[in-house]
Structure 1
Amino acid sequence: MDPVATALTKPPAVLAAGTSLFLDFDGTLVEIAESPDAVAVDARLRALMICLAEAFEGRMAIVTGRASADIRALFDGIPIAIAGSHGVELCWSDGRIETPERMAVLDHALDRMVALRLRFPGLLIEDKPFGVALHYRQAPEAEPEARAVAEELAQSCGLALQPGKMVFELRAPGAGKGGALRTLLADASMAGTTPIFLGDDVTDESAFAAARELGGFGILIGPPRPTAALYGLPGVSHALDWLEDACGRMA
């Protein structure tokens, strides 16, 4: 089914029994910051994640473009599964970890991005374990050349190009948030449950589609746009309100 640009209704307040919850991080649980390391988890979000972890009894995961280690550090001590680096890294709540080896061509891509930053000092380069991202939020004039470099590297190095909100990311091929959701849902801890995915970016569309195909639904966080999500919430604060309400009802 092709995504349709339309206003989305608010998701149901009561979640049916036997659901699993999948959450994007930036733009969904926290506002997007000028740089990735400027994000912090406040007391409200930490308390919410503890509540959700208890209510869902292991049937919850953060599915993010960030490295899994970054999310573990931000939510230290909270038992949640993490699909990091757009699903390349899988870290289960019981401590199991599945990660491939880093592709050597990512270092070449990193060098090219560093060279481009010499011309556009406002560019921010994010070196991840299994990808490199070029953020142009502080240098919007660099967008055309950043796109051209990213597209050329993706083709010449055999990497997947993942555009996002003012960012171009190169990562190992074959991953994606939709695939990560399917892998997580096949695990014994979540098998047979109905998936719900919250996300804000085009990087989340494959997960919205996967959730829908598996009998669940996606919730788009932010302004309406063409999407595979069935429901929508206007922004991060509304997402947190909805999650708190859902968690309270489950408890």
Structure 2
Amino acid sequence: MLTNASLFLDFDGTLVDLADRPDEVVADEELRALLARLNLRLDGRMAVISGRSIAQLDAILGPVAQEVALSGSHGCEHRWQGISAQPHRPPTLDQAAERIRPFAERFAGALIEEKSYGVALHYRLCPEIEKEAVALAWHVARDLELELQEGKMMIELRVPGGDKGVAVRRMMRLAPMKGTTPIFIGDDRTDENGFEAVAELGGAGIFVGKPGETGETGAQYLLESPAAVRAWLEQAAA
């Protein structure tokens, strides 16, 4: 099924179900073992590309995180084949957190998540604040010259210059992925850059969720849930 293919996997909402709080997400042993088998089956042509930082992915995935290619923080940081690359963390991220925190503290369900190269505001537990939260984030991003990334019930200010498409193109220039057909699986607007990149490179995107859930998508195929993704990957790893 994945002959001469390279596989790029989003994490939250793709390999695991979304949680009300990002720190509640765990990777069970079955998922860790599946990723290890896939990486072996593909001779290293597999990567996890996430909005989470590499440090977060290491903590969640355990030892398998050291075996697979990783791109974290929406394509801002990378680790593959023993080589790591990270940008400078600008002080404007701390300034962004300080400007958003008073707003988040007004609502019991709002959560600030400070990442290696980003600051996210989650409002899954208080969706009524979405419009106000997005407006504030746009204002702060403009003032501090940060990139704005909208996702499912969250918005993130991050270091400019990276996205998941950048991560795909970067890895596809190198062996053993170079010259193969890329497949990207993701569930959110943050994954659309990845879908665009694999399409340009002759590959395909697979959207996880219900049709139209995040608006129009550049993915060509659909899987309904992380459970369906894992079932499909189990077949691919066999």
CA-to-aligned-CA distance 1:65-121 (integer Å, 9 cap, x gap): 0001111222222200111000001111x2210001101111111001111122223
- Alignment of structure 1 residues 62-73 onto 2, 5 Å: 62-73=48-59
| Structure 1 counterpart SS, 2:161 | coil
Give the length in aligned residue pairs. Answer: 233
Pairwise CA RMSD = 1.0
Task: Name which of 198, 220, 234 aligns with 1:230.
Answer: 220
What does 1:37-116 correspond to in 2, within 5 Å? 37-78=23-64, 79-92=67-80, 94-116=81-103
CA deviation digits over 1:170-204, x for unaligned, max 9?
Answer: 01111100111000111223111110000000110
Task: State the partner residue of 2:17.
Answer: 31
For 1:101, give the aligned amino acid.
H
Provide Cα deviations, 1:196-229, integer angstroms capped at 9, x if missing partner.
0000001101100110110110000110122111
2: CA distance, partners of 1:83 / 1:110: 23
Q: CA deviation at 1:148?
A: 1.2
Shift of 1:20: 0.5
Deviations 1:119-172 (A, max 9, x none): 223211110010000000112122122111100011111111100000010011
- Please say which of residues 61-70 and 138-147 is displaced more in the overlay: 138-147
Give the 3-state SS of the residue equivalent to 1:76 in structure 2. Answer: helix
Q: Which runs of 5+ in 2 are unaligned?
A: none
Higher mean displacement: 110-119 or 21-30: 110-119
Amino acid at match of 2:188: D
Maintained 8 Å contact 2:147/2:159: yes
Rounded Cα–Cα distance in structure 1 between residues aligned with 2:105 and 2:152: 22
Query: Helix, strand or coil: the match of 2:171?
Result: helix
Question: Does 2:156 align with 1:166?
Answer: no
Q: Any conservation in 1 of the 2:104–2:121 contact (CA below 8 Å)?
A: no
Name the residue aligned to 1:152: 139
* TM-score using structure 1 length: 0.90
Q: Secondary structure at the match of 1:87?
A: coil
2:36 partner letter:
I
Distance 1:168 1:96 in 2: 30
User: How far off is 1:56 after superposition?
Assistant: 1.1
Which protein has greater RCO, CA pairs closer than 8 Å, 6+ apart? 1
CA contact (8 A) 2:110 2:124 kept: yes
What SS does the aligned partner of 1:58 have? coil
Unaligned runs of 5+ in 1: 1-13
